[in-house]
Structure 1
Amino acid sequence: MKHTINVNENRAMVLLKDKMYVHDASLLRDDLLTVIDQGVTKITIDLSALSYIDSSGLGTLVTINKRTKEKNGRLVLTGAQGLPSELLKRTRLDRVFTIE
Protein backbone atom coordinates (compact mmCIF):
# COMPACT_ATOMS: atom_id res chain seq x y z
CA MET A 1 0.00 0.00 0.00
CA LYS A 2 1.09 3.51 -0.67
CA HIS A 3 -0.09 6.41 1.41
CA THR A 4 0.45 10.14 1.31
CA ILE A 5 -0.31 12.56 4.11
CA ASN A 6 -0.71 16.26 3.37
CA VAL A 7 -0.85 18.45 6.47
CA ASN A 8 -2.18 22.01 6.49
CA GLU A 9 -2.29 23.56 9.98
CA ASN A 10 -4.54 21.28 12.08
CA ARG A 11 -5.88 19.29 9.12
CA ALA A 12 -4.50 16.27 7.31
CA MET A 13 -5.61 14.71 4.06
CA VAL A 14 -4.56 11.08 3.64
CA LEU A 15 -4.70 9.17 0.37
CA LEU A 16 -4.50 5.37 0.49
CA LYS A 17 -3.67 3.39 -2.66
CA ASP A 18 -3.71 -0.27 -3.65
CA LYS A 19 -4.09 -2.82 -0.81
CA MET A 20 -3.62 -2.45 2.95
CA TYR A 21 -2.16 -5.40 4.84
CA VAL A 22 -0.69 -5.78 8.35
CA HIS A 23 2.65 -4.11 7.65
CA ASP A 24 1.01 -1.22 5.78
CA ALA A 25 -1.50 -0.66 8.57
CA SER A 26 1.29 -0.46 11.13
CA LEU A 27 3.18 2.16 9.11
CA LEU A 28 0.03 4.20 8.53
CA ARG A 29 -0.90 4.04 12.22
CA ASP A 30 2.56 5.24 13.30
CA ASP A 31 2.56 8.08 10.76
CA LEU A 32 -0.92 9.27 11.72
CA LEU A 33 -0.31 9.05 15.46
CA THR A 34 2.78 11.22 14.94
CA VAL A 35 0.73 13.77 12.99
CA ILE A 36 -1.96 13.80 15.70
CA ASP A 37 0.68 14.29 18.39
CA GLN A 38 1.90 17.32 16.40
CA GLY A 39 -1.52 18.97 16.74
CA VAL A 40 -3.57 17.73 13.80
CA THR A 41 -7.16 17.18 14.93
CA LYS A 42 -9.07 16.89 11.65
CA ILE A 43 -8.15 13.96 9.42
CA THR A 44 -9.76 12.97 6.15
CA ILE A 45 -8.80 9.59 4.71
CA ASP A 46 -9.56 9.06 1.02
CA LEU A 47 -10.25 5.39 0.33
CA SER A 48 -11.20 5.82 -3.34
CA ALA A 49 -7.94 4.25 -4.61
CA LEU A 50 -7.89 1.47 -1.99
CA SER A 51 -8.93 -1.91 -3.38
CA TYR A 52 -8.44 -4.07 -0.26
CA ILE A 53 -8.16 -3.64 3.50
CA ASP A 54 -7.64 -6.40 6.07
CA SER A 55 -8.65 -6.50 9.73
CA SER A 56 -5.43 -4.80 10.85
CA GLY A 57 -6.21 -1.92 8.49
CA LEU A 58 -9.69 -1.62 9.96
CA GLY A 59 -8.12 -1.70 13.43
CA THR A 60 -5.81 1.15 12.45
CA LEU A 61 -8.78 3.24 11.33
CA VAL A 62 -10.50 2.54 14.68
CA THR A 63 -7.35 3.57 16.57
CA ILE A 64 -7.01 6.81 14.61
CA ASN A 65 -10.71 7.57 15.07
CA LYS A 66 -10.39 7.07 18.84
CA ARG A 67 -7.25 9.20 19.09
CA THR A 68 -8.73 12.10 17.11
CA LYS A 69 -11.83 12.07 19.33
CA GLU A 70 -9.60 12.14 22.44
CA LYS A 71 -8.07 15.34 21.00
CA ASN A 72 -11.54 16.80 20.29
CA GLY A 73 -10.99 16.18 16.61
CA ARG A 74 -12.64 14.28 13.82
CA LEU A 75 -11.84 11.50 11.36
CA VAL A 76 -13.75 11.36 8.08
CA LEU A 77 -13.53 8.54 5.54
CA THR A 78 -14.28 9.38 1.91
CA GLY A 79 -14.53 7.50 -1.35
CA ALA A 80 -14.99 4.00 0.07
CA GLN A 81 -16.02 1.61 -2.67
CA GLY A 82 -15.82 -2.06 -3.53
CA LEU A 83 -14.42 -4.42 -0.90
CA PRO A 84 -13.37 -1.70 1.60
CA SER A 85 -16.91 -0.29 1.55
CA GLU A 86 -18.41 -3.76 1.92
CA LEU A 87 -16.15 -4.59 4.87
CA LEU A 88 -17.05 -1.35 6.64
CA LYS A 89 -20.72 -2.29 6.31
CA ARG A 90 -20.31 -5.96 7.27
CA THR A 91 -18.34 -5.07 10.39
CA ARG A 92 -20.81 -2.27 11.16
CA LEU A 93 -17.95 0.20 11.28
CA ASP A 94 -19.98 2.35 8.92
CA ARG A 95 -21.91 3.24 12.10
CA VAL A 96 -18.73 4.19 13.95
CA PHE A 97 -17.02 6.34 11.33
CA THR A 98 -18.17 9.48 9.59
CA ILE A 99 -18.28 8.39 5.96
CA GLU A 100 -18.82 10.79 3.10
Structure 2
Amino acid sequence: MKYSYKIENQVFILSFSGDLIGENDGAELIEVIQENIEKEINLCAIDISDLRYINSSGIGVLITILTKFRNRGGEVVLVNPGEQVKKLLIITKLNNIFQIVDSIEEAKKSLISS
Protein backbone atom coordinates (compact mmCIF):
# COMPACT_ATOMS: atom_id res chain seq x y z
CA MET A 1 0.00 0.00 0.00
CA LYS A 2 1.11 3.49 -0.79
CA TYR A 3 -0.55 6.59 0.54
CA SER A 4 -0.20 10.33 0.28
CA TYR A 5 -2.07 13.18 1.85
CA LYS A 6 -2.62 16.89 1.64
CA ILE A 7 -4.85 19.43 3.31
CA GLU A 8 -7.13 21.67 1.25
CA ASN A 9 -9.65 24.07 2.83
CA GLN A 10 -9.38 22.30 6.20
CA VAL A 11 -10.12 18.92 4.56
CA PHE A 12 -7.58 16.11 5.03
CA ILE A 13 -7.35 14.40 1.63
CA LEU A 14 -5.86 10.93 1.82
CA SER A 15 -5.08 8.92 -1.32
CA PHE A 16 -4.42 5.18 -1.33
CA SER A 17 -2.96 3.07 -4.12
CA GLY A 18 -2.14 -0.61 -4.37
CA ASP A 19 -3.51 -3.04 -1.80
CA LEU A 20 -4.89 -1.89 1.56
CA ILE A 21 -4.06 -4.82 3.80
CA GLY A 22 -3.33 -3.00 7.06
CA GLU A 23 0.36 -3.77 6.99
CA ASN A 24 3.05 -1.80 8.83
CA ASP A 25 1.97 1.48 7.23
CA GLY A 26 -1.32 1.30 9.12
CA ALA A 27 0.12 2.47 12.46
CA GLU A 28 2.16 5.22 10.79
CA LEU A 29 -0.90 6.41 8.89
CA ILE A 30 -3.06 6.52 12.04
CA GLU A 31 -0.36 8.59 13.74
CA VAL A 32 -0.36 11.12 10.86
CA ILE A 33 -4.15 11.32 11.05
CA GLN A 34 -4.10 11.81 14.82
CA GLU A 35 -1.58 14.67 14.48
CA ASN A 36 -3.84 16.44 12.00
CA ILE A 37 -6.98 15.89 14.08
CA GLU A 38 -5.16 17.54 16.97
CA LYS A 39 -4.60 20.54 14.66
CA GLU A 40 -8.42 20.83 14.38
CA ILE A 41 -8.62 19.14 10.96
CA ASN A 42 -11.80 17.09 11.35
CA LEU A 43 -12.97 16.46 7.77
CA CYS A 44 -11.45 13.71 5.65
CA ALA A 45 -11.82 12.57 2.04
CA ILE A 46 -10.22 9.21 1.26
CA ASP A 47 -9.50 8.70 -2.43
CA ILE A 48 -9.62 4.95 -3.01
CA SER A 49 -9.88 5.06 -6.80
CA ASP A 50 -6.39 3.50 -7.17
CA LEU A 51 -6.98 0.81 -4.54
CA ARG A 52 -6.84 -2.65 -6.14
CA TYR A 53 -7.62 -4.80 -3.13
CA ILE A 54 -8.64 -4.46 0.51
CA ASN A 55 -8.71 -7.15 3.19
CA SER A 56 -10.19 -7.25 6.70
CA SER A 57 -7.18 -5.45 8.20
CA GLY A 58 -7.56 -2.75 5.55
CA ILE A 59 -11.23 -2.40 6.45
CA GLY A 60 -10.07 -2.04 10.05
CA VAL A 61 -7.81 0.84 9.01
CA LEU A 62 -10.75 2.61 7.30
CA ILE A 63 -12.99 2.11 10.34
CA THR A 64 -10.25 3.38 12.68
CA ILE A 65 -9.89 6.51 10.53
CA LEU A 66 -13.66 7.04 10.55
CA THR A 67 -13.84 6.56 14.33
CA LYS A 68 -11.01 9.01 15.00
CA PHE A 69 -12.63 11.74 12.91
CA ARG A 70 -16.18 11.15 14.20
CA ASN A 71 -14.98 11.14 17.82
CA ARG A 72 -13.87 14.74 17.20
CA GLY A 73 -17.15 15.72 15.57
CA GLY A 74 -15.78 15.20 12.07
CA GLU A 75 -16.69 13.13 9.05
CA VAL A 76 -15.06 10.88 6.45
CA VAL A 77 -16.09 10.41 2.81
CA LEU A 78 -14.78 7.67 0.50
CA VAL A 79 -14.02 8.76 -3.05
CA ASN A 80 -14.50 6.74 -6.24
CA PRO A 81 -14.00 3.10 -5.23
CA GLY A 82 -13.31 0.64 -8.06
CA GLU A 83 -15.79 -2.17 -8.77
CA GLN A 84 -14.05 -4.80 -6.59
CA VAL A 85 -13.73 -2.44 -3.61
CA LYS A 86 -17.30 -1.18 -4.10
CA LYS A 87 -18.59 -4.78 -3.99
CA LEU A 88 -16.68 -5.38 -0.76
CA LEU A 89 -18.11 -2.19 0.79
CA ILE A 90 -21.62 -3.41 -0.08
CA ILE A 91 -21.03 -6.98 1.18
CA THR A 92 -19.65 -5.68 4.50
CA LYS A 93 -22.41 -3.03 4.67
CA LEU A 94 -19.76 -0.32 5.01
CA ASN A 95 -21.57 1.56 2.24
CA ASN A 96 -24.17 2.31 4.97
CA ILE A 97 -21.52 3.71 7.33
CA PHE A 98 -19.38 5.69 4.88
CA GLN A 99 -20.66 8.28 2.46
CA ILE A 100 -19.32 7.37 -1.00
CA VAL A 101 -18.91 10.00 -3.73
CA ASP A 102 -17.44 10.09 -7.24
CA SER A 103 -14.82 12.87 -6.98
CA ILE A 104 -12.61 14.81 -4.58
CA GLU A 105 -14.51 18.00 -5.47
CA GLU A 106 -17.82 16.33 -4.59
CA ALA A 107 -16.28 15.07 -1.31
CA LYS A 108 -15.05 18.54 -0.36
CA LYS A 109 -18.46 20.10 -1.08
CA SER A 110 -20.24 17.41 0.93
CA LEU A 111 -17.84 17.67 3.88
CA ILE A 112 -17.75 21.46 4.04
CA SER A 113 -21.54 21.77 3.82
CA SER A 114 -22.17 19.17 6.56
Tell whether the structures are fold-level matches, with TM greater than 0.5. yes
Indicate conservation of the 8 Å contact 1:9/1:40, yes or no: no
Paired residues in the alignment total 100
Indicate conservation of the 8 Å contact 2:22/2:60, yes or no: no
Indicate conservation of the 8 Å contact 1:45/1:75, yes or no: yes
2:36 corresponding residue in structure 1? 35
- State TM-score, norm by structure 2: 0.79
In the alignment, structure 1 residue 86 sits paired with structure 2 residue 87: yes
Quote the RMSD (CA, aligned, Å).
Answer: 1.5
Indicate conservation of the 8 Å contact 2:26/2:61, yes or no: yes
In the alignment, structure 1 residue 66 sits paired with structure 2 residue 83: no
Which 5+ residue runs of structure 2 have no aligned equivalent?
A: 102-114
Percent identity over paired residues: 27
In the alignment, structure 1 residue 77 sits paired with structure 2 residue 78: yes
In the alignment, structure 1 residue 50 sits paired with structure 2 residue 39: no
**C-alpha distance 53-26 of structure 1, shift in aligned 2 (>3 A):** farther
Deviations 1:41-70 (A, max 9, x none): 010000101111111111111111112111
**C-alpha distance 54-27 of structure 1, shift in aligned 2 (>3 A):** farther
Specify the SS of the correspondent of 1:86: helix
- State TM-score, norm by structure 1: 0.88
Question: What amino acid does structure 1 have at the position aligned with 2:41?
Answer: V
Which 5+ residue runs of structure 1 have no aligned equivalent?
A: none
Deviations 1:5-38 (A, max 9, x none): 1023531111111111221333332322222222
Moved over 2 A (4+): 24-31
Specify the SS of the correspondent of 1:40: coil
Specify the SS of the correspondent of 1:12: strand
Indicate conservation of the 8 Å contact 1:78/1:99, yes or no: yes
